[in-house]
Amino acid sequence: MKHYELRTANYQLRAITTLVFVVLCAVLLIGCHRAHQRADLVFINGTDPETLDPALVRGQSDIRLASELFEGLLRFNRSGMVEPGAASFWDISPDGLTYVFHLRPEVRWSDGALVTAQDFVLSWKRALLPVTGSPYNYQLFVVRGAENFASGKESDFSKVGIKALDDRTLKVVLQQPTAYFLQLCALPALYPVPVRFIDRVGDAWIKPEHIIGNGAYTLSVWNINDRIVLKKNPYYWDAVHVALETVEVLTINKATVAYNFYAVGQADLLLDKGLAPPFLMDALIKRNDFHEAPYLGTEFIRFNCTKLPFNDSRVRKAFALVIDRKRLTEKITRAGELCAESLVPPGILGYHSPKGLGVHVKEAQRLLAEAGYPGGKGFPLITYLYSEGEVPEGIAVELQAMWKHELGVFVLLAHQELKAYLASMSSLDFGMACSSWIGDYLDPNTFLDLFVTGGSNNRTGWSSKHYDQLIQEAALEINPGKRFQILHDAEKLLVDEGVPIVPLYFYLGIQLYDPNRLGGIEGNLLDKHPIREIYRKDSANRPNI
pLDDT of residue 23: 46
Q: With left for phi above 0 and alpha for psi between -120 and 50, is residue 398 left, alpha or beta? A: alpha
pLDDT band at 491 (very low <50, low <70, confident <90, very high): very high
Which of 512, 488, 413, 500 shows the shortest CA–CA distance to 464?
Answer: 500
Cβ proximity of 443 and 474 under 8 Å:
no
Computed over every residue of the chain, the mean pLDDT equals 91
What is d(CA 164, CA 162) in angstroms, rounded to the nearest whole number?
A: 7
Neighbours of 136 (CB within 10 A): 21
Strands (DSSP E) contained in 373-444 are 382-387, 411-416, 432-438
pLDDT of residue 287: 95
SS3 172: strand
pLDDT band at 542 (very low <50, low <70, confident <90, very high): very low
pLDDT band at 30 (very low <50, low <70, confident <90, very high): very low
Neighbours of 205 (CB within 10 A): 18
Give the model confidence (pLDDT) of 179-214 as tens digits. Answer: 899 999 999 999 999 999 999 999 899 999 999 999
What is d(CA 499, CA 295) in angstroms, rounded to the nearest whole number?
A: 24
Lowest mean pLDDT among 74-78, 141-145, 534-538: 534-538
Lowest mean pLDDT among 154-158, 464-468, 473-477, 501-505: 473-477
pLDDT band at 539 (very low <50, low <70, confident <90, very high): low
Lowest mean pLDDT among 183-187, 235-239, 389-393, 402-406: 389-393
Cβ proximity of 493 and 466 under 8 Å:
yes
pLDDT over 80 (residue 245): yes
Q: Is omega for the bond preceding 309 within 30 degrees of 0, making it cis? A: yes
What is d(CA 26, CA 259) in angstroms, rounded to the nearest whole number?
A: 10
Burial 105-127 (b: 16+ CB within 10 A, else e): eebbbbeeeebbbbbbbbbbbbb
What is d(CA 500, CA 409) in angstroms, rounded to the nearest whole number?
A: 19
Pairing of β 269-270 and β 41-44: parallel
What average pLDDT does range 316-323 have in this prediction?
98
Calculate the CA 71 to chain-centre distance.
Answer: 18
What is d(CA 212, CA 220) in angstroms, rounded to the nearest whole number?
A: 11
What average pLDDT does range 361-376 have in this prediction?
98
Q: What is the pTM (predicted TM-score) of this model? A: 0.86
What is d(CA 519, CA 219) in angstroms, rounded to the nearest whole number?
A: 23
Helix spans in 264-411 (H):
281-284, 313-321, 325-328, 361-370, 390-407
pLDDT of residue 35: 56
Calculate the CA 490 to chain-centre distance.
Answer: 22
For helices 3-33 and 390-407, the axis angle rounded to 10 degrees is 170
Pairing of β 432-438 and β 518-519: unpaired
Which of 504, 508, 493, 486 shows the shortest CA–CA distance to 462?
Answer: 493
pLDDT over 90 (residue 156): yes
SS3 165: strand
φ, ψ (nearest 5 deg) of residue 529 = -135, 75
Dihedral angle at the C-alpha atoms of 363, 366, 370, 371, nearest 10 degrees?
Answer: 70
Strands (DSSP E) contained in 453-538 are 501-512, 518-519, 535-536
φ, ψ (nearest 5 deg) of residue 362 = -65, -40
Give the model confidence (pLDDT) of 108-129 as tens digits. Answer: 999 999 999 999 999 999 999 9
| Residue 99 CB contacts under 8 Å (≥ 6 apart), including other chains | 90, 91, 92, 93, 171, 172, 173, 174, 181
What average pLDDT does range 344-371 have in this prediction?
96
**In the chain, how long is the greatest CA-to-CA distance?**
72
What is d(CA 427, CA 420) in angstroms, rounded to the nearest whole number?
A: 11
In eight-state DSSP terms, residue 234 is T
Cβ proximity of 217 and 247 under 8 Å:
yes
pLDDT band at 28 (very low <50, low <70, confident <90, very high): very low
Cβ proximity of 357 and 313 under 8 Å:
no
SS3 416: strand
| Percentage of the chain lying above the pLDDT 70 cut | 92
pLDDT over 90 (residue 418): no
Amino acid at 402: M
Alpha-carbon separation of residue 8 from 1, 328, 332, 418, 502 (angstroms): 11, 10, 8, 24, 21
